[in-house]
Structure 1
Amino acid sequence: MIHNGRFAALVLDENGRVTQWSGGATRLFGRAADKALGHDICDLLFLGARRDTITQALDGCASGSGWSGVLSAACADGRVHEVRFELEPLSMPGPWGTVMVTAADTRAPRPTRADFEAGERLALLNEVSSRIGATLDPRQAAEDFIDVAVPRLADTASVSVIEGLLRDEAYPDHGADGSVRVRRLAFRLDVRHTPEHDWAKTFPDNELVVYGPGHPAIRCMSTGVPVTYGAAELGAEEVSRISGVLGDSAADVLCSASYLAAPLTARGTVIGFITMTRNPERAPFDAHDETLAADLAARAAICIDNARLYSKEHRITQAFQQNLAPRRLTVPPGLDLAHRYLPASAMTVGGDWYDVFPLPGDRIGLVIGDAMGHGAVAAGGMGQLRAAVRALAGFDLTPDEVLRQLDRMADDMHSIQCATCLYAVIDLRTHTCAISRAGHPPPILVGADGAAVVLDLPSGLALGLGDPEFAGDFTTTEFAMPPGATLAFYTDGLVESREQDIDTGIATLRTSLTEPHESLEAACAAIVDALPQQYDDVALLLTRIPASD
């Protein structure tokens, strides 16, 4: 920010470690930013008793007091020079730092007010990036931006985004007359000048506004560069509307205020704009402010657009979750059933799934699977596999043939990179179960006497891997499933975590299934409730042929 080799600006945290290091600091002290960031300022520049002086200065800043003085410091020419340091606590501390430091070689003229303002603006840019980059809500990101901008840079600030983009539309066309519909995400005014309830009525958050092609904000969107302007370009209609709420005194302020608009450009696309105003008692916006506004808007745009895209992804995955994720199953006659599905977080839906459906001849099909990943892609793959299993089951295929056909279909499903699956057919007449496995964790069978065993089944290869050497390598295994026996299907999220490997998790689940419970539902609830920490999606399906009275 400061290009003279004798002035520097840097930011420290509460412990005196460097969090920001300007080009001026590199030129004055001879250390590149990567050699300074994270290091104690005393280790970098001072020795002996001067360390105590800086420590006391930091303590003073922590209590809200600044400090200035001349200290000997190692400089870029390899010599020790007398350098004047000024330490001031930041008005809005955070991860970006808590103390602003300016330094000037005493051989040079003392830094001007503009020099100190440049250092503060360096901190402002980093503060904007740190604050709004921490949220995934577009409106919260907009509010965080204007909390930084007002009153430090402007007396009012607002953030507006093209309305169609907030509704997940493709980039919307402008009106036939060149007008643009935007949604004001946030607005802030320095309440030292106007009561909050007044401006809230004039500029309500989330208001839909149509700007004509001649408005400076639309001009900045068209050109891609910030513009400064006066009340004449604001328009008499806009001034009249505002003064109608705030009174005639507001019109006087508006007519002599300074205005600045800057485009919000993310990934090469203009998504909206920011506007800022300075009252007459402050210096009007100038070319330097335009440059700063462009930098601020660029950082804000990326964060707001990231939040917008995340919100869009979240809405898509929620739709998948509501329509595809297992919630309710129709229990076929002759079978007891209990199940649970827990996504890794409330914000995502994953690829875990299961299904139960009747088949001809008093048989019941059961399937459980896990499509790799989270979010819309994994959920889409899960939905395709579930529909495919139902369709294939209608052809009365054996379990291994169902998996073989699924594997071929998965090769053509772009949403599926890899998926495990377990498909079984329970015969209610013969009390047997035929089952085949495609890389999925093995099922557990609990006898009517309470003894549990992990079924030793050929593992098969996960679906969609496309390995010709093992393509179609699936086997059907048949075993007795007498009334009162319980069959447990599950996904790896239930048995594998950072704290335990999958074998230990399966052994723990096996032990849990041997414990007495009043019902399958109670057993299912107890197993899920005992999860120490959930890192992945979890699916659990328990089935039982009821014991005859």
Structure 2
Amino acid sequence: MGEASIPNGPEAGGRGVGEGRLFGTTPDNPPSRKDGPGAELVVRRDSDRIRFVGAATRRISRGMDLDEIVLGLCRASVPTFADAVLVYLRDPLPVGDERPVSPFVMRLRRLDQLHEDDKHAPNVIDWDVLDLSEVRPDSALAEVLRGVRPVFGDSAAARVALPELLGAGRTVPTGHRAILAPLRGRRRVIGAAVLLRWAGRATFEPDDLLAAAQLATQTALGIDKAVLYGREAYIADELQRTMLPAFLPQPTGVRLASRYLPAAETARVGGDWYDAIPLPGNRVALVVGDVMGHSMISASIMGQLRTTVQTLAGLDLSPQEVLHHLDEQAQRLGSDRMATCLYVVYDPVAHRITIANAGHPPPVLLHVGGRAEVLRVPPGAPIGVGGVDFEAVELDAPAGATLLLYTDGLVESRMRDVWTGIEILRERLAATAQLVDPDHSPPLEALCDDVLGMLGQGDRDDDIALLAARFDGIAPSDVAYWFLEPEDAAPGRARRLACRALSKWGLDDLSDEVELLVSEVVTNAIRFTERPMSLRLLRTDILRCEVSDDSSQLPRQRRARETDEDGWGLFLVNRLARRWGATRLSTGKVVWFEMTLPPR
């Protein structure tokens, strides 16, 4: 609620007549009949009234949110049409098809009037009005609101309704004139406006009721739209945020950080997303995407595509195959469901990344020492185009380097094109790296914050999703890898190889348990495969054992009876291992288990 002294002029809703009032007749200059001597004055007032209503409705319609619309009504009305205006709105405002409660309350949203130092405001409202008024279904106020049409304050209905709105015992001061105008939206009355003229000003005319009705209608429809838009934007924004990762995984060999910024208030709902998905073999998939458009539909499509990517990543498909199937899913969602996407797989053992692109801005790789490089990857067509092939490239991912994935909101705006923005990003990353020790990389979280610092005023036209990955890798000395033939001697050989690797790493305390579990997993594998299998041990902050074969049949744990001679393998793995699991691969499956390292 606020007060304002509003100047006259075009911003007040029209051209001033009579020292700041279009409808400025006074007791010394009364209105005349159109067929009398004052016909010319009446015609001029009618013309002024039409211009005022047109300018006022344009001003009200410019408002984007509820407060701007209410302010537009007040600024257009005072002092051109009235000396004071009180705007009441339902609290809470019903949205869409919501069933409103009864009785309901209306809260005074805004009070605007001329200041006491204005020569036209000798009787400024100095009496208290209720901030909150209850509207009972059988009350006179409810009857006026249901009638929708504005009424004069001295009418029989308004004389009872106004005290109910303003408060018991409070009514329009003697000599003041009032119009009570219900504000009806598309489905129901959402409030009321009280327009007042001081005692020294001419009374309202019947044509003023028509002007008040037009102002009230424009205001109510604008408020309806603003409330609906606000609710949709809020739901879509919450929907988008809940579909983004609540936290990032921290797989071995890579550190991750992310940022997400919505766009400006006028277009804050988008379809940007990022994700990090652990894959078998200590690999991780890094994903960033951008659904075209800004709406709740964009946010919901983003959620569906992100879920699809997670499912496809779980199948351990190659990056280009992931984008191919994602493209097919987008076409099933509709002919205009398009998005860009970048899918990267990092292998910390091989120190390599594999990248496939679907129309997305290329990633930037920041090397140790400060060199920033825009990676050359095939651009590809956006997801949803259909009928195109995606390419993948494999590149080195040296330890200490940082890969930055982002959406176009970071680099593109009204002020610059996307490639200019990418070059600015590359230069900023290089400059940031120069501020630290050349042999070390800048802290990851601080790097993300610094990247967002490149955004200048007017650069927030779109959502921004940012995903940064610092490659630590796994040293070759911490990896042991062998191939085993699927024969009866394989479990014994696997035990000896594992024992030898543990001894080299100084983990002899784990030898008994690891030998037993390796033997059981390898024994289970040779039952279903006829080709060589692989055995790999990884030493990081834990010990991980992986046995891969070309069979897609996953092992299932069952509880063996005490008299059974077999069926105890996975039961022992489940009891002795810290964690274990089995994952299908595009080439078969991998069964793995992890052991906690003994304290050094």
Q: Where on the TM-score scale, by shorter chain, does this alignment land: which range?
A: 0.5 to 0.7
- The yes-or-no answer on 1:521 pairing with 2:429 is no
- The yes-or-no answer on 1:402 pairing with 2:331 is no
Q: 1:306 aligns with which of 225, 233, 239?
A: 225
Which amino acid letter does the alignment assign opposite residue 121 of structure 1? R
Structure 2 residue aligned with 1:170? 97
Contact 1:438-1:474 at 8 Å conserved across structures: yes
SS in 2 for 1:436: strand
Structure 1 residues 236 and 298 mapped into 2: Cα distance closer, same or farther (>3 Å)? closer
**Residues of 1 paired with 2:17 and 2:177: CA distance?**
28
Which amino acid letter does the alignment assign opposite residue 546 of structure 1? D
Contact 1:216-1:227 at 8 Å conserved across structures: no
Structure 2 residue aligned with 1:198? 127
Structure 1 residue aligned with 2:287? 367
Structure 1 residues 151 and 221 mapped into 2: Cα distance closer, same or farther (>3 Å)? farther
Structure 2 residue aligned with 1:128? 56
- The yes-or-no answer on 1:459 pairing with 2:379 is yes
Shift of 1:124: 2.9
Structure 2 residue aligned with 1:345? 264
Structure 1 residue aligned with 2:512? none
**Residues of 2 paired with 1:110 and 1:252: CA distance?**
30
Contact 1:240-1:251 at 8 Å conserved across structures: no
Structure 2 residue aligned with 1:487? 403
**Residues of 2 paired with 1:130 and 1:241: CA distance?**
28
Contact 1:198-1:245 at 8 Å conserved across structures: no
Structure 1 residue aligned with 2:469? 543
Contact 2:259-2:448 at 8 Å conserved across structures: yes
Shift of 1:269: 6.3
| TM-score, normalising length: structure 2 | 0.62
Which amino acid letter does the alignment assign opposite residue 273 of structure 2? W
SS in 1 for 2:333: coil
Contact 1:326-1:341 at 8 Å conserved across structures: no
Structure 1 residue aligned with 2:31? none
Shift of 1:354: 0.9
Q: 2:70 aligns with which of 135, 142, 154?
A: 142
Structure 1 residue aligned with 2:238? 319
Shift of 1:406: 1.7
Which amino acid letter does the alignment assign opposite residue 542 of structure 1? A
Shift of 1:370: 0.9
Structure 1 residues 169 and 531 mapped into 2: Cα distance closer, same or farther (>3 Å)? closer
Which amino acid letter does the alignment assign opposite residue 128 of structure 1? A
Structure 1 residues 116 and 90 mapped into 2: Cα distance closer, same or farther (>3 Å)? farther
User: Residues 142-541 of structure 1: matches in 2 within 5 Å?
Assistant: 142-150=70-78, 152-154=80-82, 157-163=85-91, 166-172=93-99, 175=102, 182-187=106-111, 192=121, 196=125, 198-199=127-128, 202-204=129-131, 207=132, 209-213=134-138, 215=140, 218-219=143-144, 221-222=146-147, 224-228=148-152, 230=154, 232-234=156-158, 239=163, 246=170, 253=174, 260-266=179-185, 271-276=190-195, 285-320=204-239, 322-325=241-244, 328-345=247-264, 348-413=268-333, 417-448=337-368, 450-465=370-385, 467=386, 469-470=387-388, 473-515=389-431, 516=433, 517=436, 518-532=442-456, 534=459, 535-541=461-467
Structure 1 residues 98 and 353 mapped into 2: Cα distance closer, same or farther (>3 Å)? same
Of Structure 1 and Structure 2, which has the larger fraction of its residues in strand?
1
Contact 1:440-1:462 at 8 Å conserved across structures: yes
Which amino acid letter does the alignment assign opposite residue 413 of structure 1? L
Structure 1 residues 391 and 280 mapped into 2: Cα distance closer, same or farther (>3 Å)? same
Deviations 1:484-514 (CA, angstroms, capped at 9, x unpaired) = 2322222222333344433343344334444
- Structure 2 residue runs of 5 or longer lacking an equivalent are 1-5, 23-35, 437-441, 476-600
Contact 1:320-1:349 at 8 Å conserved across structures: no
**Residues of 2 paired with 1:509 and 1:336: CA distance?**
21
Which amino acid letter does the alignment assign opposite residue 74 of structure 2? I
Contact 2:178-2:194 at 8 Å conserved across structures: yes
Structure 1 residues 302 and 445 mapped into 2: Cα distance closer, same or farther (>3 Å)? same
Structure 1 residues 243 and 537 mapped into 2: Cα distance closer, same or farther (>3 Å)? closer
Shift of 1:426: 1.1
Contact 2:258-2:466 at 8 Å conserved across structures: yes
Larger Rg: 2
SS in 2 for 1:373: coil
- Structure 1 residue runs of 5 or longer lacking an equivalent are 1-88, 103-107
Structure 1 residues 400 and 279 mapped into 2: Cα distance closer, same or farther (>3 Å)? same
Contact 2:86-2:112 at 8 Å conserved across structures: yes
**Residues of 1 paired with 2:218 and 2:165: CA distance?**
32
The number of aligned residues is: 438
Contact 1:143-1:187 at 8 Å conserved across structures: no
Structure 1 residues 195 and 245 mapped into 2: Cα distance closer, same or farther (>3 Å)? farther
Root mean square deviation of aligned Cα? 4.0
- The yes-or-no answer on 1:94 pairing with 2:14 is no
Shift of 1:352: 1.9
Deviations 1:439-467 (CA, angstroms, capped at 9, x unpaired) = 112223344455444333333321123x3
Structure 1 residues 426 and 208 mapped into 2: Cα distance closer, same or farther (>3 Å)? farther
How much identity, in percent, do the aligned residues show? 35
**Residues of 1 paired with 2:244 and 2:305: CA distance?**
12
Contact 1:217-1:262 at 8 Å conserved across structures: no
